[in-house]
Amino acid sequence: MPDRGGGPSGPRMRVGRPSRRARTLLMTLGVLAVLAMLFIMFAGFWTDWLWFRSVKYSSVFTTTLWTKIGLFAVFGLLMAGAVGFNIWLAHRLRPPLSAMSMEQQSLDRYRMSVAPYKKWLLLGISVLVGLIAGASAAGQWKTWLMYVNGVPFGQKDPEFHLDVSFYTFDLPWYRFLLGFGFAAVVLSVIAAAVVHYLYGGLRVTSPGARATAAATGHLSVLLGLFVTLKAIAYWLDRYGLAVKSSDFKAADNWTGLRYVDANAYLPAKTILVAIAAICALLFFATLWRRTWQLPVIGFGLMVLSAILIGGLYPAIVQKFQVQPNEQAKESPYVEKNIKATRDAYGIDGTDVKDYSGIPDPKADKNQLRQAAGTNASIRLLDPNIVSPAFQQLQQVKGYYAFPSTLAVDRYSGQDTVIGLRELNIGGIPKNNWINDHFRYTHGYGVVAAKGTTATDQGAPDFTQSDLPSKGMFGTDFEQRIYYGEQTKQYSIVGGPQKELDYSDDKGEKETSYKGGSGVNLDNPVNRAAYALTFSEPQILYSGAIGDGSRILYNRTPKQRVEAVAPWLTIDGAPYPAVVDGRIKWIVDAYTTTNGYPYASRTTLGQSTADSLTNSQRAVVAQENQVNYIRNSVKATVDAYDGTVDLYQWDTQDPVLKTWMKAFPGTVKPKSEISKPLMDHMRYPQDLFKVQRELLTRYHVTDPQTFLSGSEAWAVPDDPTTKVGTAVPPYYLSMKMPEQKEKDQVFSLTTTFTPNGRDNLSAFMAVNADPGTPDYGKIRILKLPTSRPVDGPKQVQSKFNSEPKIAESIRLLRGGDSEVEYGNLLSVPLADGMLYVEPVYVRSSGLKYPLLRKVLVTYGGQTAFEDTLEKALNVVFGAEAPTTPVPPTTQPPGEGTTTPPVSQDPTVKAALADAQKAVEDAEKARQAGDWAAFGKAQEEIKAALKRAIDAEAKLTAPKPAGQ
């Protein structure tokens, strides 16, 4: 019959071998495929190396790389050797003849199929487990570097009296070694058992002995090693109690020993060490006894002991000894936890003072009004609300944008709100590859406004504005912004394709990047590597790339600092400053650990979250749990050339010293921070938020009070929003009661409320100005519990419920306008609390809010006026003194006051000079002559100093007899 498939009906034709040409083609394609895969793997490595070299931190790349390679090789070989050796040994110890049974006959087929490939299987299994173990070990590069470079803390834990460095640097490495040992032994046991079973050394259903003497000896040694490691684990667990987290009603994430740990778990672990050691010896003894009876009994006793001694006994102690008298039993351990936590978070020096919170009703109104103008520079410009105003008034072009939350800094002695006009890729008129990556490459200019005043229309009072930017900083500084918070796409600059610099009435201005940052694309290897890295083949062949072309990426300040210092945790709020003719991003960075004994842990993401936190402002590594933190590094990133500089800020931090040993030369000494740059350093927000979260409980130092929870506080929700998240801390120049500095100090402030209630518990401020002796000093004003004082939420509620204010707000909302409440600022003043809140109105036809009203309350009196001055006058029932004598931290302007004028001619003349200088300063400000403005400022200070000196001479006590 003919073949149904249509083929030949005769004998089947033999298929011939492929021709030489086909074989050559296949071989060529195979080689090319392998080379392509290798190049893809190489591209990531090569681009990383080029980037680190471009930022001059190649030592970070090489140190990290060689550490990973070393750990991968050492532990990969150890694991491969351990498993491979035990497979080989099990095969070597196989019985010469297998038993005649159905089980062994079934296994014969597997033995026969495996026999030709035994060596390859041994090699393959060893390589596989070695690769897995090596990759796991390479991930421990930070643990290894901290272990070999660890610096002593100079502090010992209260239980074992070991240096803290043992827990932070040594114990994590020991635990890794222990885990690696367990993995190696378990895999070896499994592999050896499989080989013994396959070759008849172990039998499941065959008659006679279940294991040969050789198999018994081999496996017993491995199990003895496992139990030996368990004994070591029990020993390390003793020290682990000092850094163990547990549930404790006194505090979340409690860390350290409690009564049951010290009196039940600790002795139990010690007993289990001895039992495990004896059990291990019994396993090793089977080499001579050739029986599993004793080691199995010993292992069973060890498991039973672990249940009874390590589990049941501590539960009994907790139930019948601790719970009936918990405060007395736990107090010594709570005291240790309080001390360690306060040390670990840098809050041990917190100065807590009692504060009335209720002003004296007999206080002089004129003095109160005067103090209201001099105790604080009330910031009316809310950096979280005015960004749309910056955007609308100063964006200039759609391809520029400002961040949603602006920065607060100090310039010319006053609080200033500042933002950069960064590139907005979404606003480019026509998006294509050339425009997005070659033409539109950078932002341009700085915009700044006074923090304490607004224009008559309620808009920001700009001190630096327009394009190109001009004003208080002048124009002679590099205004191009190639690196910024919103600059996340790569750009290719410096080549034949010109970039758009900015445009004005005369047309577009073009430029070509002259900075030294970025990676050269002047050779095909680099271009091919980046074409793969960014999945953009046009990089490989585009004519827009030529001589001098450089690719810029990793362009946000946080990205760059985290990349060159991967051992740092980065603050969520970098901020710009104009320093020495450049725009610098200042980035706060932290060293952290979760191994500080007895110090309670906190989750960074939870502690630093507030009503302003978003994806841009979130702290890096926010899910990390830590129990030690230091603002050890201040970093800067140049907005034009991307230069990253790391400065040692905390010179005592042992964690930073450890990393500086591991990466020598990467962190510069603090002495290299220039004076102009130092003037713009400040206390970081995220550290402050972590500390305030801990201080809700750890402001208490008495263990009994701590355990009772009666003094626990809470961070209040932001009353100006409806999202129910914590109120953010606010930067503010102010004077705290009894502070050493006589003048206002740039500070970071927050409030506390009692747990579960809305009245005010305390006010907290930290000196945020590094130029003062008390920088970093935390001060807390603790209000009495017997007389409730309104907290932020209650103040906001009273604002909203006051009939006249409510009516005014209703009128402001007329015509579909929106009312937005600005930051509710709290200022201690003469035993009371002064609350000030700017109120913005965004009309239906306007895209940005304007400052229209100011809410002020003090001592039960509330005012809702057009200006801060009027509101303060209403609240205090007194006018501000007429002669403006501004505090040294604030230039002349609204809100400045002076004491009554002396009749002494010298004093009067000095004050007259000061008044004239004030007028000259105001004229210079209106004219935009900032050089004259600065000169007038100096004249004001000099005149005031003459007046103060003259007044001091008049009031100084005269010697007896005169």
Three-state DSSP string of 444-480: ECEEEEEEEEECCCCCEEEEEECCCCEECCCCCCCCE
What is the Cα–Cα distance from 206 to 105, expressed in whole angstroms? 11
Res 139 pLDDT > 50? yes
Rg (CA), the chain: 36
What is the Cα–Cα distance from 880 to 903, expressed in whole angstroms? 19
What is the Cα–Cα distance from 883 to 911, expressed in whole angstroms? 8
Res 688 pLDDT > 70? yes
Are 521 and 539 spatial neighbours (Cβ–Cβ below 8 Å)?
A: yes
pLDDT band at 526 (very low <50, low <70, confident <90, very high): very high
Q: What does the pLDDT look like over 549-589, one tens digit per residue?
A: 999 999 999 999 999 999 999 998 899 999 989 999 999 99
- List all residues 6 or more positions away from 196 whose beta carbon is below 8 Å from its beta carbon: 90, 93, 94, 202, 211, 212, 215, 218, 219
Residues linked to residue 522 through DSSP beta bridges, in sequence order: none
Res 109 pLDDT > 90? no
Tokens coding 479: 């205004």
pLDDT band at 159 (very low <50, low <70, confident <90, very high): very high
Question: What is the model's pTM?
Answer: 0.85
Helix %, strand %, coil % of the chain (to 5): 45, 20, 35
Closest to 850 measured CA to CA, from 393, 409, 465: 393
| Phi and psi torsions of 749, nearest 5° | -130, 155
Q: What does the pLDDT look like over 462-481, one tens digit per residue?
A: 999 998 889 888 888 999 99
Q: How far is CA 558 from the centre of its chain?
A: 10
Average of pLDDT values for 730-736?
A: 90
Residue type present at position 875: V
pLDDT band at 414 (very low <50, low <70, confident <90, very high): confident
Res 894 pLDDT > 70? no
Average of pLDDT values for 377-396?
A: 89
Q: What does the pLDDT look like over 33-53, one tens digit per residue?
A: 877 777 777 888 999 999 999
- % of residues, the chain, pLDDT over 70: 88
Q: What does the pLDDT look like over 253-270, one tens digit per residue?
A: 889 999 999 999 999 999
Res 956 pLDDT > 70? no
Are 269 and 234 spatial neighbours (Cβ–Cβ below 8 Å)?
A: yes
Angle separating helix axes 171-198 and 58-92, nearest 10 degrees: 30
pLDDT band at 595 (very low <50, low <70, confident <90, very high): very high
Q: What does the pLDDT read at residue 741?
A: 66
Average of pLDDT values for 53-59?
A: 95
Q: Looking at per-residue confidence, does 771 or 844 come out higher?
A: 771
Q: What does the pLDDT read at residue 922?
A: 67
Task: Of 176-190, 315-329, 901-915, give the range with the top mean pLDDT.
Answer: 176-190
pLDDT band at 80 (very low <50, low <70, confident <90, very high): very high
Res 86 pLDDT > 80? yes
Q: What does the pLDDT look like over 789-815, one tens digit per residue?
A: 888 999 888 888 888 888 888 888 877
Res 174 pLDDT > 60? yes
Q: What does the pLDDT read at residue 844?
A: 76
Half-sphere exposure of 781 (CA within 13 A, CB side): 24
